[in-house]
Amino acid sequence: MKNNLIIEDWGRIGFEEAWKLQTRHQQALIERKRNAQSQNIKREAGNHFLIFCEHPHVYTIGKTGSGDHLLVGDDYLRKHNIAYHHINRGGDITYHGPGQLVIYPILDLEFFFRDLHRYIRLLEEMIIRTMAELGLEGYRRSGFTGVWTGPSANRKICAIGVHMSRWVSMHGLAFNVKPDLIHFDHIIPCGIKDKEKSVTSIAAESGEEPDMASVKSLVRNHFVNLFEIDNYETKQNLRRIDDSDDAIDLAQ
């Protein structure tokens, strides 16, 4: 079976809008799958999406998260124009904001493998390989999801949280390229209370601010190689769709 990938760059986009568009993409792939199954059609090619974007300031908390891990109240959020959403991914609370590369793979995993843990490990590997090209070492930590760095691998640089429906993925990775890390001080990131563990970024570790476009290119290359993508097409600065657009067309 062949796998075709559409890579979309949404630029700076509000979290709610991105969540809505992800859901449309995911539902379009699920609908295609259901149609093939109902007509007993064997699918020979998988069509998938890889989304790049950045979000304005927002805290999101997953299905297994605790509201107590947000350390500020509504007044603070309003004053600093920070959104807050309970969402349908796994994991606890995290921050998204400018300078952080958010990566949303929307894949029909039945064209690859039906193994959630393997999927997460490949996403981690993608970031580890990207970091190596930026001159940094990335690590996994037993019992934790995501990618870590530092001499004791105690600084988290990439958080991962996904949602799966009929083996079609959404949500994904928050890779700290050059965000303002002060926003992590107002949460217990990923629900990890260990004071010896912290959050970091490429900029904080290297002392330089990498070009976001270059980081996207590295991530894309490693994603395509790790998932053995046959064909891919990149759509830069994609114009967002509105409510009148047909979501099914996005999966053609």
**Catalytic residue IDs:** 190
CA dist 22 and 94 (Å) reads: 18
Give the side-chain half-sphere CA count within 13 A for 33: 18
